[in-house]
Amino acid sequence: MIKKIRDCLSDIKDPDLKEHYSQLVFTLLEKGYFPGLAGVPVAKSGISHIDGEKGILTYRGYPVQELAEHCSYEDVAFLLLNGDLPLRNEKNILQKQFLVHRDVDRDIAKAVIAMPEELHPMYMLSASVLQLQANDNLCFTVDNYNQNLFRAIRLVAKLPTIIGISRTRDAEFAADKEFDSYAQYCLYCFNQDLADDEEWVDIFEKLLILHADHTMNNSTFSVRAVGSSKASIYASVASAINSLSGPLHGGANERVLKMLQEIGSPDKVESYIGSVLAKGEKIMGIGHRVYKTYDPRALFTKNKILPRIFAEDNPLDIDDELGDLYKTAQKMERVVLDVLSGKKLYPNVDFWSGLVMKALGIEPHYFTTVFVLGRIMGWSAHWVEHMEVKNRIFRPNQLYDGFNDRHILVEPEEEIASTD
Ligand SMILES: CC(=O)SCCNC(=O)CCNC(=O)[C@H](O)C(C)(C)COP(=O)(O)OP(=O)(O)OC[C@H]1O[C@@H](n2cnc3c(N)ncnc32)[C@H](O)[C@@H]1OP(=O)(O)O
Ligand SMILES: O=C([O-])CC(=O)C(=O)O
């Protein structure tokens, strides 16, 4: 067997792949399992690709920066779902579909309003996505590609509405309003004042595109794992939203802003980082399972989006508090690069995005729902793709380290009777 493994490894020509599989074999032999499934391929997919050493992310072969620079949300959604960028009329149709299908049923709107205001928006959202199933009584019929695509489009369309209703506590918050694009509608759901300003809509749209897909991350894995049981798109996406809420995943964006506020000013950054590291804790917005260099989305946000917001001569209205948070983040980035880049720890997508969302007037506890509006493109594409593959239910194994056989001690009946 060992010889067979050695032969298989020596047959691999690509040196990176060879190193990767050798590492997997080593981990399995050393530990007996794969902690965090690190590096373990669980599916084949043509949707996105990452080169973590070089800091490259592509959607269907296109670099994410080019898509963010030149494309609309509709272009990228079409690309992820269908495999190619749309022709003009295909894009127009998708844009219309997103806007036409945005309304949610009155009962669902009522249910959203009835949820406690203290409920975190991510859990409000996952609970509401499950309710969308009520309008799709064929949801367990998942083998029709066109029907699945249509389901995905309807779901993408309705997410911002749920968020808008939850924020405003008003089912009619966008009634009779016309929108030019999905991104504009989404921004309206968070901030009605900025949604008429093309500059802010463009910034918001770029943020959504940067978040659209990211290979087999924790939430996309959830979509695939739940979907592999042939559960509905609603069940799969609800589980992905729950996964994304975690502080080690998308929930980090909300916490980065809190962290910057807690630090208070650039001169306190070093002592903050020192004390977090001394306690063995993680710095939010830093580190990544796959990137061993600067995350390209974080770089794009830092170099292409934030300067538009914070430029000295910019026409955008930014308050002093936000300007100070930006300076603290800039200092933090410098210190992190100094202290942690040796360990290949760099800012990830969540490090800078909160500053953009704050500038967009979005409340921090809603930050991760913005991430959802981007990532829903990828989740839906993965769900649709998964329904097309020769599926095997996800069912990994475990290393059992519990008790050996134990048995219930049953006392003989006479003894029980005599003690009564
Ligand atoms: C959208 C996204 O999901 S992007 C990620 C968002 N999450 C965050 O920003 C939270 C902070 N970061 C983290 O918790 C991690 O870096 C993760 C979850 C992103 C990746 O985790 P893993 O790949 O499992 O890395 P792991 O936790 O094993 O860390 C490897 C080493 O780097 C250190 N490390 C990793 N992230 C950080 C961090 N943010 N701050 C300080 N040290 C860190 C670990 O302590 C560990 O050090 P050690 O080898 O000396 O023990
Ligand atoms: O890929 C990951 O592990 C986390 C993620 O979703 C992202 O960075 O966008």
Residue 161 covered by a domain: yes
Ligand nearest the Cα atom of residue 55: 2
| 127 belongs to a structural domain | yes
On whether both 195 and 266 belong to a single domain, the answer is: no
The one catalytic residue in 288, 295, 382, 386 is 288
CA 200 to ligand 1 center in whole angstroms: 32
Q: Looking at the domain assignment, is residue 71 inside a domain?
A: yes
Cβ 213 vs Cβ 349: under 8 Å: no
At 417 the pLDDT is 62
Q: How far does the centroid of ligand 2 lie from the alpha carbon of residue 292, in Å? A: 13
Res. 16: pLDDT tops 90? no
How does residue 415 score in pLDDT terms, banded at 50, 70 and 90?
A: low
Residue minimizing CA distance to atom 44 of ligand 1: 282
Mean pLDDT of all residues in 209-222: 98
Tens-place pLDDT, residues 319-336: 889 999 999 999 999 999
Q: What is the pLDDT of residues 100-155, one digit of tens each?
A: 999 999 999 999 999 999 999 999 999 999 999 999 999 999 999 999 999 999 99
Give the span between the Cα atoms of 376 and 213, in whole angstroms.
8
Cα torsion 211, 213, 217, 222: sign: positive
Please state the ipTM of this predicted complex. 0.99
Compute the distance between CA of residue 287 and CA of residue 142 in angstroms, rounded to an integer. 37
Is residue 350 flagged as an active site residue? yes
Look at residue 245 in the predicted model and tell me its pLDDT. 98
Q: Running DSSP on this structure, what letter comes out for residue 134?
A: G
Residue 53 lies in a domain: no
The residues lining ligand 2, judged by C-beta closer than 6 Å to any ligand atom, are 214, 217, 289-290, 348-349
Number of domains into which the chain is organized: 3
Q: Are 260 and 238 within one domain?
A: no
Q: Are residues 65 and 22 in the same domain?
A: no
Q: At what angle do helices 367-388 and 218-227 cross, to 10 degrees?
A: 40
Q: Which ligand is nearest to the CA of 251?
A: 1
Q: What is the mean pLDDT of residues 266-276?
A: 97
| 227 and 336 fall within a common domain | no
If you average pLDDT over every residue of the chain, what do you get? 95
Same-domain check for residues 133 and 72: yes
Considering the domain architecture, whether residues 79 and 209 belong to the same structural domain is answered as yes
User: Is residue 67 one of the residues assigned to a domain?
Assistant: yes
Residue 143 belongs to a domain: yes
Task: Residue 282: give its domain's CATH number.
Answer: 1.10.230.10
Per-residue pLDDT, averaged over 387-409, amounts to 95
Q: Please tell me whether residues 198 and 289 are part of one structural domain.
A: no
Report residue 14 as tokens: 């690509």
pLDDT (0 to 100) of residue 1: 82
Residues 232 and 121 in one domain: yes
Pocket of ligand 1, beta carbon within 6 A:
36, 248-250, 252, 282-289, 343, 345, 348-350
Pairing of strands 62-63, 56-59: antiparallel
The answer on 108 and 196 residing in a single domain is: yes
For residue 234, what is the domain's CATH number? 1.10.580.10
Q: pLDDT tens digits, residue range 286-311?
A: 999 999 999 999 999 999 999 999 98
Nearest protein Cα to ligand 2, atom 7: 214
Query: Residue 407 corresponds to which tokens in the numbers above?
Result: 């048995």
Percent of the chain with pLDDT over 70: 98
CA of 78 to the centre of ligand 2 (A): 21
139 shares a domain with 154 = yes
Closest to 296 in 3D by CA, of 39, 52, 111: 52
Give the closest ligand to the alpha carbon of residue 341.
1
Residues 209 and 84 in one domain: yes
If you measure from the C-alpha of residue 354 to the centroid of ligand 1, how many angstroms do you get, rounded to a whole number?
Answer: 19
- Where are the strands (E) in 65-130, listed by range? none
Residue 353 sits in the same domain as residue 278: yes
Containing structural domain, residue 129: 58-249+371-388
pLDDT band at 416 (very low <50, low <70, confident <90, very high): low
Buried b / exposed e along 126-136 (16+ C-beta atoms within 10 A): bbbbebbeeeb
